[in-house]
Chains A and B, each alone.
Chain A
Amino acid sequence: MLLALIAAHAVMAALTPVFTRFLRARTFYVLALAPAVSAAYLIARAPVILEGGRVLEEFNWIPALGIGITLSMGLVQWVLGLIVTIIGVLILLYCRWYFAEKMPNLSGAILLAFAGAMLGLVTADDLIVLFVFWELTTVFSYLLIGHDSTRRANRGAATTALVVTTTGGLTMLLGIVAVGYSAGTYSLSEIVVSPPTGLLATVGALMMLVGALSKSALIPFHFWLPGAMAAPTPISAYLHAAAMVKAGIYLVAVLAPAFASVPYWRPAVLILGALTMITGGWRALRQTDLKLLLAYGTVSQLGFMVLLVGMGTKAGALAGLGMVIAHALFKSTLFMIVGIVDHAAGTRDLTQLSGVGYRAPWLAVFGGLAALSMAGFPPLLGFVTKEAAFESIVYLITGDQYQITPLAGALLAVAMVFGSAITVAYSLRWWWGAFASKDGAPVLEWKAPAIGKEAIPALLGLASLVGGFLGGPLTEVLGPYAETVPWGKPSHGFGLWHGFTAPLMMSLIAMASGIALFWFREPIARVQSTFPETTSAEDLYHRSMGGLDRLAVETTARTQRGSLPVYLGTILVTFVALTLYALMDIRFWPQVRWFDSIAQIAVAIVISAAAIAAAKSRGRVRGILLTSATGYGLAATFLMWGAPDLALTQVLVETVTLIVFVLVIRKLPRYFTNRPLTSSRWWRVLLAAAVGTTATLIALVTAGARMHEPVSEAWYQAAYEIGFGKNIVNVALVDTRAWDTFGEISVLVIAATGVASLIFLQTRMAEVKRTDEALAAKNRKREADSSPAVWLRAGQTMSPLARSLMFEVVTRVLFWVLLIVSLYLLLAGHNNPGGGFAGGLVAGLALMIRYLAAGRYELDEAAPFDAGRLLGAGLVLSIGTAVVPVFVGGKVFQSYDYYLNLPGPDTWSLFGHQLPLFGELHLVSSTIFDVGVYLVVIGTILDFARSLGSGIDVHTLQDKAPTPVVNSAKALPGGDRR
Chain B
Amino acid sequence: MNANMTLAIAAGILIACGVYLILERSLTRILLGVIIVSNGVNILFLVASGHPGTPPIHGLFSEETAADPLPQAMVLTAIVITMAVTAFVLAMAYRSFQLNGHDEVADDVEDARIRQLAQADEQSESYEATRFSDTGEDVVSE
Contact = CB atoms under 8 A, between A and B. Distances in A.
Contacts of A627: 32, 35-36
Interface string A684-706: 11011101110110111011101
Contacts of A754: 88, 91
Interface size class of A (residues with CB under 8 A): 35 or more
Contacts of B3: 590-593, 699-700, 703-704
Nearest to A283: B134
Contacts of B86: 657, 660-661
Interface of B: 1-26, 28-29, 32-33, 35-36, 39-40, 42-44, 46-60, 63, 66-70, 72-77, 79-88, 90-95, 97-105, 107-112, 114-115, 117-119, 121-124, 127-132, 134-136, 138-142
A649 interface: yes
Contacts of B112: 562
A668 B7 contact: no
Contacts of A301: none
A853 B102 CA distance: 30
A846 interface: no
A649 B76 contact: yes
A685 B17 CA distance: 9
Nearest to B35: A627
B43 A634 contact: yes
Contacts of A292: 136, 139
Contact of B23 (A558, A653, A688): A688
Contact of B101 (A151, A704, A972): A972
Mostly, the A contact residues are helix
Nearest to A736: B73
A837 B76 CA distance: 9
Contact of B12 (A595, A657, A667, A693): A693
B142 A832 contact: no
A692 B12 contact: yes
Contact of B6 (A233, A594, A758): A594
Contacts of B127: 545-546, 549
A73 B22 CA distance: 64
Interface in A5-58: none
Interface in A598-612: 600-601, 604, 607-608, 611-612
A219 B69 CA distance: 69
A601 B19 CA distance: 23
Contacts of B134: 283, 286-287
A231 B100 CA distance: 49
A630 B10 CA distance: 10
B129 A672 contact: no
B69 A715 contact: yes
Contacts, number: 434
Interface in A114-171: 148, 151-157, 159-160
A944 B99 CA distance: 20
Contacts of B115: 557
Question: 5 closest A-B pairs (Cβ-Cβ)?
Answer: A156-B130, A692-B16, A562-B111, A562-B108, A696-B12
Contacts of B79: 646, 649-650, 653
Given A542-B131, A627-B32, A646-B79, 14 more contacts: A230-B141, A286-B135, A593-B4, A604-B9, A611-B39, A630-B14, A645-B55, A672-B26, A688-B20, A688-B23, A695-B40, A744-B80, A759-B94, A977-B100
A937 interface: yes
B76 A641 contact: no
B128 to A, nearest CB: 6
Most buried by A among B80, B82, B109: B80
Contact of B52 (A640, A688, A752): A640
Nearest to A933: B80
Nearest to B112: A562
Contacts of A698: 44
A449 interface: no
A643 B7 contact: no
Nearest to A750: B84
Contact of B69 (A657, A706, A712): A712
A614 B4 contact: no
A960 B110 contact: no
A167 B138 CA distance: 24
Contacts of B85: 751
Interface string A751-789: 110110011000000000000000000000000000000
B90 A728 contact: no
Given A153-B141, A640-B52, A712-B70, A611 B17 contact: yes
Nearest to A944: B87
25 contacts: A227-B139, A229-B141, A233-B141, A569-B23, A591-B1, A595-B4, A604-B9, A607-B14, A608-B14, A611-B36, A615-B18, A615-B36, A642-B67, A643-B46, A645-B76, A653-B83, A688-B20, A688-B23, A692-B15, A696-B9, A699-B7, A703-B4, A711-B70, A729-B76, A744-B77
Contacts of A673: 25-26, 102, 104
A624 B70 CA distance: 30
Interface in A922-964: 937, 940, 944, 947-948, 952, 955, 960-962
A668 B88 contact: no
Contacts of A906: none
A634 B42 contact: yes
Contact of A937 (B16, B52, B72, B80): B80
Contact of B84 (A590, A665, A748): A748
Contacts of A461: none
B70 to A, nearest CB: 4
Interface stretch (A386-394, A719-727, A888-896): A719-727
A438 interface: no
A729 B15 contact: no
Contact of B138 (A153, A563, A607, A741): A153
Contacts of A286: 134-135
A732 B68 CA distance: 12
Interface string A531-567: 0000000100010011001101110111011111100
Contacts of A704: 1-3
Most buried by A among B1, B59, B74, B99: B1
Given A630-B39, A700-B5, A642 B73 contact: no
A725 B73 CA distance: 15
A230 B29 CA distance: 56
Contacts of B43: 634, 637
B76 A227 contact: no
B19 A688 contact: yes
A668 B11 contact: no
Nearest to A680: B23
Contacts of B109: 562
B16 A948 contact: no
A606 to B, nearest CB: 10
A914 B53 CA distance: 37
Contacts of B23: 565, 568-569, 684, 687-688
Nearest to A711: B70
B98 A562 contact: no
Given A593-B5, A601-B6, A741 B87 contact: no
A572 interface: yes
Nearest to B78: A744
A758 B56 contact: no
A667 B128 CA distance: 48
A549 B46 CA distance: 50
B87 A755 contact: yes
Interface string A297-308: 000000000000
Contact of B16 (A691, A703, A952): A691
Nearest to A617: B32
B95 to A, nearest CB: 5
Given A152-B128, A642-B55, A691-B15, A656 B83 contact: yes
A67 interface: no
Contacts of A657: 35, 83, 86-87
A232 interface: yes
A594 B8 CA distance: 10
A808 interface: no
